[in-house]
Copies of this chain bind each other. A is one copy, B any other.
Amino acid sequence: MTTENAERLTIGEVAQAAGVAATTLRYYEREGLLSPTDRSRAGYRLYDDGAVERLEFVRAAQAVGFTLDDIRALLELNGDSPCKEVQALIERRLTEVDEKLADLTRVRSTLADALQRCRKSKKGCAVVADLKRKRGKRRSK
């Protein structure tokens, strides 16, 4: 597939562009996360370039802890959904994201503190002690 059609990408091209394996794209299709817009005569999957953006959104959301199920739910939202439900879902997700941000910030400051002390002391650095002393509210999903 070297014919630069400038609108229809094969699975390999999309995969390369987004930095995932082609097999992963087929998997995402089965899971309803991203379908090719078309097929070639031979049955090859053909994607438009929006697919790459969408895929990048999926990966970013995944990197911060959303499951594929969560992400599918977000991606499935469209003009046909009753606005109430859409709003509620988005609000729930926002709350989750904010909790994650709080956790992450906490972990970050633990690490930063540990690094500080580590730099200060000529000798070994008791990071474990630091970690053990750190506190925070519960989160379990």
> Using a CB–CB distance below 8 Å, which chain A residues touch chain B?
18-20, 50, 53-54, 56-57, 59-61, 63-66, 74-83, 86-87, 90-91, 93-94, 97-101, 103-108, 110-112, 114-115, 118-119, 121-128, 131-136, 138-141
Would you give 8 A-B contacts (Cβ < 8 Å), ordered by A?
Answer: A19-B140, A53-B134, A60-B136, A64-B104, A64-B107, A79-B124, A80-B124, A100-B104
- Bound together, the chains give a CA A65 to CA B65 distance in angstroms of 6
- Bound together, the chains give a CA A101 to CA B77 distance in angstroms of 25
Whose C-beta in chain B lies nearest to the C-beta of A127? B77
B134→A57 contact, CB < 8 A:
yes
**A49 shortest CB reach to chain B, Å:** 10
Whose C-beta in chain B lies nearest to the C-beta of A20? B140
**A124 shortest CB reach to chain B, Å:** 3
- Bound together, the chains give a CA A133 to CA B49 distance in angstroms of 11
